[in-house]
């Protein structure tokens, strides 16, 4: 039995020395000390020995077991260390590598212009109003005094959703919605998206406008010119020339188109202003009494003006962009410049 024990010990210690993984060590432990292990079997055989021999052999078995346990623990520890070392090596992070910089977004030029215009008008006491992009014919045309056969109602310009539902072709219906909701005095601007069936270098089927409306008891054409002059001077610079030309809109009377001195050539004449020295930037006029009639205002005792402008056109002039389509292609090389 002694010899058997000695042999088992030597074989096992050798196996522990030669083992290279935690799995192998675990297998050795089970084969020796598990329920069906060799040393366990030997211990069970102690009862068959002479009573006098039992304590001596028992002690020997214990010491062999302890020795093996110690060797196993040491080998397990060193296998664990090797495993950790290998992982540290393979998962090493090079902290000296430069970081990756996420691209920072910028505001779209159209948003920049809307914000700037809203803030100029906020300084003049105008609040921001909004309306739906899918609009009823009545708000988009009828209440704005477009006669039934007016060419702007033609399918060429308007995207219809249903018979009398359409994608608004301008922000002017917000005038109507505002006047129906509140009584004068009114001072609002309404930025928003509008739609027209038109597409080339200076037209997009989806674009943006800002509408303005001021209604009170004694608003004059002079107020209109004053407000628009302050506005264009703030947007394009103090010395920008402004001129008003007679025009026609169904919802204003009298109506005007507002030009600024060409921001490219300063008025001398160039390709952008088609050698006229002037650039048209908005439409305006005194609100037509017919419009007041549709919103049940007393046209005798109030007066007001309205104006409307295209944002993309202003953005193109302000930033020197020659093709409107650039604004909607979302090419990051273009957008990053703003």
Neighbours of 240 (CB within 10 A): 18
Judged by CB under 6 A, does residue 285 bind ligand DAH?
yes
Judged by CB under 6 A, does residue 307 bind ligand DAH?
yes
Judged by CB under 6 A, does residue 191 bind ligand DAH?
no
Q: Which is nearer to ligand DAH, 12 or 169 (CB)?
A: 169
Judged by CB under 6 A, does residue 170 bind ligand DAH?
yes
Judged by CB under 6 A, does residue 288 bind ligand DAH?
no
d(CA 148, CA 156): 15
We find the least distance from the C-beta atom of residue 197 to ligand DAH, in angstroms, to be 14
State which of residues 173, 184, 283, 304 lies at the interface with ligand DAH (CB under 6 A).
Answer: 283
Judged by CB under 6 A, does residue 192 bind ligand DAH?
no
* Piece of 131-139, 282-290, 295-303, 315-323 that binds ligand DAH (CB under 6 A): 282-290
Q: Which is nearer to ligand DAH, 260 or 284 (CB)?
A: 284
Q: What is the 3-state secondary structure (H, E, C) of 119-153?
A: HHHHHCCCEECCCCCEEEHHHHCHHHCCCCCCHHH
Strands annotated E in 196-233: 206-216
Is residue 260 exposed (0-12), middle (13-18) or buried (19+ Cβ within 10 Å)? buried
Taking Cα atoms as reference points, which of 310, 308, 280 lies closest to residue 144?
A: 308
Strands annotated E in 88-205: 127-128, 134-136, 165-167, 186-195
d(CA 86, CA 169): 68
We find the least distance from the C-beta atom of residue 236 to ligand DAH, in angstroms, to be 19
We find the least distance from the C-beta atom of residue 259 to ligand DAH, in angstroms, to be 14
Sequence-ordered list of residues with C-beta below 8 angstroms from that of 117, at least 6 positions apart, any chain: 189, 191, 210, 231, 235, 311, 314
Residues in contact with ligand DAH, counted by CB under 6 A, come to a total of 11
Q: Which is nearer to ligand DAH, 42 or 278 (CB)?
A: 278
Q: Are 39 and 32 in contact (CB under 8 A)?
A: yes
One symbol per residue from 84 to 123: x for binding ligand DAH (CB under 6 A), - otherwise; what is it? ----------------------------------------
Length of the chain: 338
One symbol per residue from 199 to 238: x for binding ligand DAH (CB under 6 A), - otherwise; what is it? ------------x---------------------------
Q: Which residue has the tokens 């088609």?
A: 274
Q: Which residue has the tokens 């050698």?
A: 275
d(CA 322, CA 202): 8
* Piece of 62-70, 260-268, 301-309, 328-336 that binds ligand DAH (CB under 6 A): 301-309
- Nearest residue to ligand DAH, by Cβ distance, number only: 308
Judged by CB under 6 A, does residue 252 bind ligand DAH?
yes
Judged by CB under 6 A, does residue 306 bind ligand DAH?
yes
Q: What pairing do the DSSP bridges indicate for beta strands 186-195 and 206-216?
A: antiparallel
* Piece of 68-76, 217-225, 262-270, 300-308 that binds ligand DAH (CB under 6 A): 300-308
Interface ranges with ligand DAH (CB under 6 A): 170, 172, 211, 249, 252, 283-285, 306-308
């Amino acid at each position: 039995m002694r010899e058997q024990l000695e042999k088992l010990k030597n074989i096992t210690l050798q196996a522990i020395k030669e083992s290279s993984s935690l799995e192998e060590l675990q297998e050795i432990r089970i084969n020796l000390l598990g329920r069906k292990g060799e040393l366990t079997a030997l211990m069970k055989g102690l009862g068959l020995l002479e009573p006098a021999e039992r304590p001596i052999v028992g002690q020997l078995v214990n010491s062999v077991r302890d020795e093996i346990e110690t060797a196993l623990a040491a080998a397990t520890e060193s296998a664990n260390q090797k495993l950790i070392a290998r992982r540290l090596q393979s998962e090493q992070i090079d902290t000296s590598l430069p970081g990756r910089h996420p691209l920072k977004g910028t505001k779209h030029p159209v948003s920049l212009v809307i914000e700037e215009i809203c803030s100029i008008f906020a300084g003049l006491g105008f609040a921001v109003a909004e309306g739906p992009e899918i609009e009823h014919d009545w708000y988009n045309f009828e209440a704005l005094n477009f006669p039934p056969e007016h060419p702007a109602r033609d399918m060429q310009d308007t995207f219809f959703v249903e018979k009398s539902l359409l994608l608004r072709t301008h922000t002017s219906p917000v005038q109507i919605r505002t006047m129906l909701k509140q009584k004068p005095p009114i001072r609002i601007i309404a930025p928003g998206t509008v739609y027209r069936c038109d597409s080339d270098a200076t037209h997009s089927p989806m674009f943006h406008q800002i509408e303005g409306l001021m209604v009170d008891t004694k608003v004059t054409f002079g107020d209109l010119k004053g407000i628009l002059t302050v506005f264009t001077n703030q947007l394009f610079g103090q010395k920008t020339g402004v001129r008003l030309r007679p025009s026609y809109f169904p919802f204003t009377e009298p109506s005007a188109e507002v030009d600024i001195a060409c921001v490219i050539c300063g008025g001398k004449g160039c390709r952008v202003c088609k050698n006229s020295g002037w650039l048209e930037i908005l439409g305006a006029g005194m609100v037509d009494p017919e419009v007041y009639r549709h919103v049940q205002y007393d046209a005798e005792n109030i007066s007001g003006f309205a104006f409307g402008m295209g944002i993309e056109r202003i953005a193109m002039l302000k930033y020197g962009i020659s093709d409107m389509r650039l604004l909607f292609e979302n090419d990051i090389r273009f957008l990053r410049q703003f």
